[in-house]
Structure 1
Amino acid sequence: MVKLYEKDILYAPLESWQQEAMSAFDAKITHKTLKFPCIPAYQGYILNQMKFGFASDPRDENASFELAGLLKKYGQASRNMGIYTALIVFFKTPEDLKSQYTVSDYEMLFWQLLNRVSSLDETNWVESISQDPHDPTWEFCFHHERYFVYCATPAHEKRKSRHFPTFMLAITPRWVLDEFSASISKAEKMKKMIRTRLEKYDNIPPHPDLKWYGQQDNYEWKQYYLRDDDTSLPSCPFKHAWKK
């Protein structure tokens, strides 16, 4: 059975890789000098509004069932968790995966995982959201909730904002992002602050695909997995088994 945790598990008995992942996340988010670019993520962590989960090796079929279970459980209660909530999922990442997989390999693994999870969705796709990833309104949906998905991997080096010791997903509900954008003036100020931090954090300029939801030239899927350079896939690998 899947289980959601709070950041207090830093001090609870866990498997060694799970403890290491939590400690690494804490260090990344709370670093005093190299400040993590996403300010709302920092706020969510400090306010204990984030939830955490663990899953198997992402190459393992079990990982998709575990992620689907975590996402379903999280989605059912997320609206009571605070306006900075997000679901963080750490995947067991053996040494052979770390040593052999490149940024491109992890990219394919990410999309394979997202496709498998989508096929396990027991509900219909959100009606107001396009089923075509190449439509600017498209975003990942699961159990009738809309989400932004962020992926970090051990292979990323230049784009440090996308580096993490294990394969990791940070999944944020769209309603959280809508709250963030409710005040146009505050949202614009926050966007500039995040951009400034990102430029200092990474060893390369921000990826050209980093845009804002709703822009006609923005495609959410391109931001889910950013490469370690300025390139991106020519088309989205996501293929949902649409419910009839």
Structure 2
Amino acid sequence: MEVAVLDKKWIEEHFETLPIWQQSAYTDFAAMVADEANTFPCIPARKGFLSNELRYSFIGDPREEQSIKTLALCLKEYDKCAQTFGKYTTHTIFFKTPTDMHKNFDVEDYRNLFWSVLDNLTKFDDIDWPKEIPTDPAHHEWEFCFNGQPYFVSCATPAHKLRKSRNFSTLLLAFQPRWIFEEMNDTTVFGRKLKKLIRQRINEYDAIPAHTDLKWYGQEGSYEWKQYFLSDDNSSPSKCPFLSMQHSLLFPQNKEL
């Protein structure tokens, strides 16, 4: 089990030693967030990439228990030094996404897989849920927590087409520590300007308007879990899968070919 939390400098210096799928994933990510035209909507992600504040882990097939164990160890390793990486840091997870998933998984399959990853991840959490974070996703201050750290977790998949900002060549999860939003929120001038600019970029980047679920953390009517995995249309699930799944943590089987 290889536990590796890597930075941009290390990956680029050792690029030729990486497996092909990892080379492709990193190349695709770099091309997306640091495109020459500077169109990628998530400005903090672009800044974090260019300043080498992002960290990366390559994980195996997300349907396998070993992969979730590795993810848990990588998150714990990241958390040890995360606050030294910079104010735009995010732990970016590239999952190996086999051909059968590319061929057969639609957006809803990836949604179910995403929540199964988070649910199964909790099996390897040794630290109690933070007391200040509600355990009910229906609460507007709920956030996914691991190793005592609240995270905003966003997901991108190969199946997203219209919502280009949530499309990626592999299953990708981005774990953003809650503390990075201390200056990026609705109570600061910087945060309000940033939100307006990001929303404008999303509307230009995607083939459909920004999802109505995208709101500030802690606001009434804002639910973090809805923002983690956005539909490829304007639909929105009515109930968070996290509560219903956490008592039956089964690893999903490969979808029938």
Q: What range describes the TM-score normalised by the shorter chain of this pair?
A: over 0.9
Is 1:73–2:77 an aligned residue pair? yes
Q: Which residue of 1 aligns with 2:105?
A: 101
Residue identity matched to 1:69: L
Residue identity matched to 1:4: V
Q: Which residue of 2 aligns with 1:163?
A: 167
Residue identity matched to 1:7: K
Shift of 1:178: 1.4
Q: Which residue of 1 aligns with 2:229?
A: 225
Residue identity matched to 1:19: Q
SS at match of 1:180: coil
Shift of 1:215: 0.8
CA distance in 1, matches of 2:107, 2:220: 28
Shift of 1:19: 0.3
SS at match of 2:56: strand
Q: Identity over the aligned pairs, expressed in percent? A: 44
Residue identity matched to 2:101: L
Contact 1:221/1:236 (<8 A) preserved: yes
Shift of 1:193: 0.6
Is 1:56–2:57 an aligned residue pair? no
Task: State TM-score, norm by structure 2.
Answer: 0.91
Is 1:187–2:188 an aligned residue pair? no
CA distance in 2, matches of 1:227, 1:182: 24
Shift of 1:182: 8.6
Contact 2:57/2:74 (<8 A) preserved: yes
Stretch deviating more after TM superposition (135-144 or 31-40)? 31-40
Contact 2:140/2:217 (<8 A) preserved: yes
Specify whether residues 131 and 183 from structure 1 end up closer, same or farther in structure 2 by C-alpha distance, changes over 3 A only: closer
Contact 1:35/1:201 (<8 A) preserved: yes
Residue identity matched to 1:59: R
Is 1:6–2:7 an aligned residue pair? yes
Residue identity matched to 1:233: P
Contact 1:10/1:23 (<8 A) preserved: no
Contact 2:144/2:150 (<8 A) preserved: yes
Residue identity matched to 1:228: D
Is 1:26–2:27 an aligned residue pair? no
Q: Which residue of 1 aligns with 2:252?
A: none
Contact 2:163/2:206 (<8 A) preserved: yes
The root-mean-square deviation of aligned C-alpha atoms, in Å, is 1.3
Residue identity matched to 2:5: L
Kindly report which structure 2 residues correspond to 1:146-157, keeping only aligned pairs within 5 A, or say none: 146-157=150-161
Runs of 4+ in 1 over 2 A off after TM superposition: 179-183
SS at match of 1:25: helix
Q: Which ranges of structure 2 fall in alignment gaps of 5 or more residues?
A: 248-257
Contact 1:83/1:179 (<8 A) preserved: no
Q: Which residue of 2 aligns with 1:115?
A: 119
Contact 1:7/1:48 (<8 A) preserved: yes
Shift of 1:61: 1.3
Shift of 1:179: 3.0
Stretch deviating more after TM superposition (30-39 or 151-160)? 30-39
CA distance in 2, matches of 1:197, 1:62: 38
Shift of 1:234: 1.4
Q: Which residue of 1 aligns with 2:250?
A: none
How many residues are paired up? 241
Q: Which residue of 1 aligns with 2:239?
A: 235
Shift of 1:98: 0.6
Shift of 1:181: 3.1
CA distance in 1, matches of 2:145, 2:197: 28
Contact 1:34/1:201 (<8 A) preserved: no
Contact 2:126/2:147 (<8 A) preserved: yes
CA distance in 2, matches of 1:233, 1:58: 22
